[in-house]
Copies of this chain bind each other. A is one copy, B any other.
């Protein structure tokens, strides 16, 4: 019997996934959590064999959750199930030692199989995504990322400067760098590109 904890913020999807997994005779969904912090508490309390988690959740993301489990050396395998086919996310997930990374686009039947594979100590990584993951790396450094994120939210250069204790000129330099590295025409396009790759 594989003991599973489910973390997913959208209640309807959470309930549906739980129903799906409970159809399997060798899988038991112990509990489910609606956000990262709750999931962390349940992980410690229930010590499940496998945690199935979304990435985007309020509070603590699935990636941070995986990192935390690794840091505490808990014997809990992690499977990420997410909408986002962003190479950067997969990379970070692998760095955090997750056992599986599946897309919500993938067929539902695969989830139970992936769960069994990971429980046995194997890995279940979405194949087409695995290819892209090592193709192009994030060219941005920390400053460029911060600045680009704020710019994408509609802040002006001076605005960003005061938030980060930088001069507005420096902010524009970083933005210019980022735009150049991404081959974009302006900050808006750069933001969209970076976001789509999972780099922000």
Chain A interface residues (CB < 8 Å from chain B): 9-20, 23, 81, 83, 102-111, 151-154, 156, 184-190, 192
Contact = CB atoms under 8 A, between A and B. Distances in A.
A156 B186 contact: yes
A131 B142 CA distance: 42
B13 A104 contact: yes
A15 B154 contact: no
A166 B11 CA distance: 46
A187 B153 CA distance: 10
A156 B190 CA distance: 13
A100 to B, nearest CB: 13
User: How many copies of this protein are present in the complex?
Assistant: 2
Given A11-B104, A15-B109, A16-B19, 10 more contacts: A9-B105, A11-B105, A11-B107, A12-B104, A12-B106, A13-B13, A16-B20, A19-B19, A154-B192, A156-B185
Contacts of A23: 19
B186 A83 contact: no
A126 to B, nearest CB: 11
B156 A108 contact: no
A20 B20 CA distance: 7
Given A186-B154, A186-B156, A192-B154, A102 B12 contact: yes
List the 8 shortest-distance A-B pairs measured between CB atoms, nearest first. Answer: A15-B108, A154-B189, A16-B16, A154-B188, A10-B104, A19-B20, A16-B20, A12-B104
B184 A154 contact: yes
A106 B20 CA distance: 18
A36 to B, nearest CB: 16
